[in-house]
């Protein structure tokens, strides 16, 4: 059964990379990620059958933005709070539409980043529908 799932995921990967050369895979066998024109957002297709729209900030980048060349060193809690504030600003434009489309939202924070994830189940056997969803959300995030 595991072998059949691996073969299905292999087929999905090949198809998506063929239709859009921008897809990258950061871990062997892992999700395919597509950077969007709107620099704050990425699309991910996972082997588990989820489409994820995510926006996030590395805490190092937030530190750089806030310090603007000064030596001020903010603690990780303050950086995370500021990053969460920025994420909420980015996400607020899209939240209602994504939730209406069946996405669930979660926020993840750790020592390196703060990110908002919107995810929904997809049918990895229906490549045409998956293609249409990817195109739809590429347009969606470049239009607002």
pLDDT of residue 2: 64
Q: Which two tokens stand for residue 34?
A: 């597509």
* Model confidence pLDDT, tens digit, residues 83-140: 888 888 889 999 999 999 999 999 998 888 889 999 999 999 999 999 999 999 999 8
How far is it, in rounded angstroms, from Cα 118 to Cα 38? Answer: 16
The pLDDT, as a whole number, for residue 35 is 92
Which token pair is 142? Answer: 């470049």
Q: What pLDDT, on the 0 to 100 scale, is given for residue 1?
A: 64
Residue entry with tokens 């980015």:
90
pTM of the model: 0.86
Give per-residue burial for 61-73: e unless 16+ CB within 10 Å, then b. ebbeeeeeeeeee
Q: What is the mean pLDDT of residues 63-69?
A: 69
Q: What domains sit in the chain, N to C, each tagged with a CATH number?
A: 2-143 (3.30.1460)
pLDDT (tens digit per residue) in 40-54 = 899 999 999 999 999
Chain segment 8-60, per-residue pLDDT in tens: 899 999 999 999 999 999 998 899 999 998 878 999 999 999 999 999 888 78
Backbone torsions φ then ψ of 107, nearest 5 degrees: -115, 135
Q: What pLDDT was estimated at residue 71?
A: 46
Q: What is the pLDDT of residue 134?
A: 95
């Amino acid at each position: 059964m595991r072998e059949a799932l691996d073969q299905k995921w292999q087929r999905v990967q090949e198809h998506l990379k063929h239709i859009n050369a921008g897809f990258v895979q950061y871990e062997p066998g892992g999700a395919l990620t597509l950077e969007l024109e709107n620099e704050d957002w990425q699309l991910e297709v996972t082997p588990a059958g989820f489409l994820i729209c995510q926006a996030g900030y590395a805490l190092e980048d937030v530190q750089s933005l806030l310090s603007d060349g000064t030596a001020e060193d903010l603690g990780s809690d303050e950086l995370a709070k500021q990053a969460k504030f920025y994420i909420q600003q980015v996400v607020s434009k899209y939240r209602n539409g994504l939730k209406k489309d069946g996405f669930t939202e979660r926020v993840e924070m750790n020592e390196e980043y703060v990110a908002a994830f919107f995810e929904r189940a997809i049918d990895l056997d229906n490549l045409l529908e998956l293609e249409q969803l990817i195109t739809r959300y590429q347009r969606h995030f470049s239009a607002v």
